[in-house]
Every structure is written in structure tokens, then in C-alpha cells.
């Protein structure tokens, strides 16, 4: 019974869990680094303080947090925050929040993911008007992946099949390390 070893199964499950945890750590540390670019002292920077608290809730080691702050402050090679706008094949609006050190490469990779899912990148301002921004909506660490700071003002009705396609697109986008959040205005999303 090759391949049916209990230990092999545990190894694969642990590898998958470690990979998800690593992706989450990477996102949290990018948020910390980006917040530290204005002020590195959390006493004077509420955004940085909130980001550090969220990272601690997910058990990010303190040395990693310090390294992210130090890299941002000391090297000044900090990530650039982008808000990309797109439409999926059903016409639902997408806002894609990205923090990157290489804007050109990230744009190319995001465009490829969109094209693979028959979606398209929109020009600046073409989608943003559909959403409203409220930084006070982000209250807990559980909302990091939900992207609750941008909420739709106008909704787009889609079918269940289109919802499955949209979920696949969002999943592929979130698997990119640079993509922090994806916001959509479809009626089947839970807001």
C-alpha cells in the first residue's frame, strides 16, 4: 500500500498548514513594514500599533516584526501600496489591494491571473466609485482576509456558477504574496 502511510499523510498536512501560515505571516509583515514607513515607533503610529497587535494575535515572532520595521526604516526599500481595479467576466467590480517592492512584476502577474479567468484590469477610477472606504471597519484580526475596509455602495447580481468562477479568481489572486485583499461587489458575498 504505497503512499498510504500515516506519517506521509501527517507530513503533507503539516506542509500545507505551514505554507498557509507562511503566507499569512508574509502579508502581516508587509502591512507592518508599510505602516512603519511613516513612523517606526508604535506609540506615535496607531496604524503600526494595530498591525503589530494583529500579528501578535497570529503568533508572528517578535524578531520577525522587528525585522520588518527595521527593513522599512533602515533600508528605505519599502513596499509600494497599490489599489488595482478590475472587472471579472460576469461584470462584478474588483478592488485588489497590493503591497509590492516590484510594481512592474506584480502588475504583470496580476494581469496574467485576471486574463486566465477571463477578467480584465480597469483604468484608475473605473471601479473605485462602486466602493466606499472606511478604515474604522477593520476591527479584528479575523477581518484581514475579508478586506472589510472597502465596502460596495452598489451591488452586482451574479449567478451561483459565476460566484464559483469569481471565488476561484479571488483565491488565485490571494495566493500571490503581494496581494493583501480583494474586494468585490457581487450580491452573493457576505458583507
At residue 145 the predicted structure's pLDDT band, cuts being 50, 70 and 90, is very low
Instruction: Note the pLDDT of residue 130.
Output: 86
What's the pLDDT tens digit per position in 154-186? 888 888 888 888 889 988 888 887 888 888 888
pLDDT tens digit sequence for 17-69: 888 888 889 888 888 888 887 788 888 888 889 999 999 999 999 988 888 88
pLDDT for 179: 84
CB neighbour burial string for 101-114, b if at least 16 within 10 angstroms, e if fewer: eeeeebbebbeebb
Which of 186, 189, 190, 191 is CA-nearest to residue 87? Answer: 186
Query: Which pLDDT tens digit goes with each residue over 59-84?
Result: 999 988 888 888 776 544 556 788 89
User: pTM of the entire structure?
Assistant: 0.59
**Domains of the chain by range and CATH?**
7-75 (1.10.10.200), 80-184 (3.30.70.980)
Amino acid at each position: 500500500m504505497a503512499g498510504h502511510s500515516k506519517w506521509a499523510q501527517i507530513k503533507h498536512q503539516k506542509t500545507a498548514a505551514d505554507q498557509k501560515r507562511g503566507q499569512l505571516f508574509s502579508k502581516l509583515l508587509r502591512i507592518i513594514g508599510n505602516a512603519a514607513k511613516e513612523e517606526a515607533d508604535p506609540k506615535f503610529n496607531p496604524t503600526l500599533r494595530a498591525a503589530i497587535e494583529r500579528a501578535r494575535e497570529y503568533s508572528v515572532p517578535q524578531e520577525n516584526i522587528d525585522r520588518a520595521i527595521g527593513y522599512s526604516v533602515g533600508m528605505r526599500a519599502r513596499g509600494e501600496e497599490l489599489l488595482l481595479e478590475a472587472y471579472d467576466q460576469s461584470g462584478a467590480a474588483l478592488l485588489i489591494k497590493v503591497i509590492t517592492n516590484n510594481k512592474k512584476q506584480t502588475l504583470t502577474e496580476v494581469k496574467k491571473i485576471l486574463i486566465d479567468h477571463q477578467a480584465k484590469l480597469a483604468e484608475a477610477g473605473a471601479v473605485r466609485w462602486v466602493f466606499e472606504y472606511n478604515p474604522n471597519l477593520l476591527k479584528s484580526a479575523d477581518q484581514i482576509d475579508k478586506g472589510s475596509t472597502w465596502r460596495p455602495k452598489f451591488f452586482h447580481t451574479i449567478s451561483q456558477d459565476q460566484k464559483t468562477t469569481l471565488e476561484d479568481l479571488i483565491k488565485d489572486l490571494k495566493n500571490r504574496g503581494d496581494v493583501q485583499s480583494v474586494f468585490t461587489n457581487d450580491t452573493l458575498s457576505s458583507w
